[in-house]
Amino acid sequence: MAKTKQADRLQTISIELDGENVAGQGKATAFPTSISTAERIGIEIFRVEYLVEIATLTALMLAAADTMMFGLTQIEANIPDNNNPHLAGVIDHKELVLMAAPTGPMVQFPLVTEFPEPILVHPASLYGWQRGENLGGVMGAVHVKIWFKYVDLAEKDYTDILQTIIMQNVI
């Protein structure tokens, strides 16, 4: 059996998107890393898992067209909506739409994204985001967990990532 180097093992970090402040406006939450943009360290994201709390589902998903959206972005201000789900900087986007009012019990399960190739980002600009539309109130908690590996960035990769972050925050 081959030995796995410690550096090759995936790490995880989780955040709780604790709900919108105002219904329909969306909210972003930074992942808690102690890495600043001045450091030439990146993370390669391999997998993302989202878990919507059952209380959020049962309290808000009450009528057809109720929508909950959540995902990952590199830009705190870019929170997609139904009209524009693919804004610059959005890494991942999930959407739950109620097609008809529920008549029985609801089931809680994780929604998973497995990237075919790891997504390289700078950890200082990684946010989970959420937005509700047509809901009966303010969207509640969604738990987000990422599987990743820290990598040292070559000068070119570091410069490219910083330019992307700066340009996307300006636009």
pLDDT at 160: 85
pLDDT at 116: 95
Full-prediction pTM beyond 0.85?
no
pLDDT at 145: 93
Can you say whether residue 117 is alpha, beta or left, with left for phi > 0 and alpha for psi between -120 and 50 degrees?
Answer: beta
pLDDT at 114: 96
Q: Using 70 as the pLDDT threshold, list the residues of the chain that sit under it.
A: 1-8, 19-24, 58-65, 77-86, 88, 99-108, 134-140, 167-171
Question: Is 79:17 a contact under the CB 8 Å cutoff?
Answer: no
151 to 11, 40, 42: CA distances (angstroms): 12, 9, 5
Please give the Cα distance from 157 to 22 (Å, whole number). 37
Domain boundaries, the chain: 11-170
DSSP code, position 8: G
pLDDT at 95: 83
Classify 161 as helix, strand or coil.
helix
Instruction: Please name which of 115, 154, 90 lies closest in space to residue 81, comparing C-alpha atoms.
Output: 90
Task: Dump pLDDT digits (tens) for 93-112.
Answer: 888 777 666 666 666 678 89
Instruction: Please name which of 167, 154, 142, 151 lies closest in space to residue 52, comparing C-alpha atoms.
Output: 142
CATH class of 11-170: mainly beta
